Amino acid sequence: MGIVPIRVSEVPEDMIFDQILRGRNVIACRVGHDLAKKSVVKLNDMASYSWIAPPKDSPLYHDLRPGLESIGVKHFKISFTGGSLGAVMNILSESDSLNVLPYSVVFRMRPQNRLTALSVRIGDPDRHLGILTMENKRLEPAAKRLMNFITTEFKSLSAIIHHHEQNELWRK
């Protein structure tokens, strides 16, 4: 059993994929960023800011360019590339750079009051978070309980995130 972000088309034939969280990317910045104060962010508003690129082998790196192209951004400056998610979060929260991140990550960072999402819709990945299990292998009772717990918790988190998206993020 594994919890992975994956495209349904990439699930091996001998495995079962149960989606627990839909993939949704947003443009993230630090709380207090000039763009976060605007009720409407336009393409020209973002042009002067640099971007943080995730590590080249990460799924987020492959989401960055198509996500930005979906809103018309074709040329952008990169101020930092690579590093761990923690390093990216630290640089993002202490600079005026922008980044494409999963909304669930930005949402879960809200209590720390370091990151926020701009209300700019970008293309979503066709990759979702889910639980992968072997098709012909029976799970032990403890593994079944764990899987049920994870599924229930993520279903609840997904509902909270969706509610917040509809009532906060897209109503700015």
pLDDT recorded at residue 62: 78
Parallel/antiparallel/unpaired status of strands 78-81 and 51-53: parallel
Averaged pLDDT of the chain: 86
Domain ranges of the chain: 1-23+126-172, 24-124
Superfamily of domain 24-124: Periplasmic binding protein-like II (3.40.190.10)
- Give me the mean pLDDT over the 95-123 stretch: 88
Unique residue bearing structure tokens 């040329």: 75
pLDDT surpassing 60 at residue 166: yes
pLDDT recorded at residue 142: 94
pLDDT recorded at residue 145: 95
pTM for the predicted model, two decimal places = 0.81
State the pLDDT confidence band at 75, using cuts at 50, 70 and 90.
Answer: confident
Q: Please, which residues bridge with residue 80 across strands?
A: 52
pLDDT in tens, 117-164: 998 888 777 889 999 999 988 889 999 999 999 999 999 999 988 887
Contact 97/52 with Cβ under 8 angstroms? yes
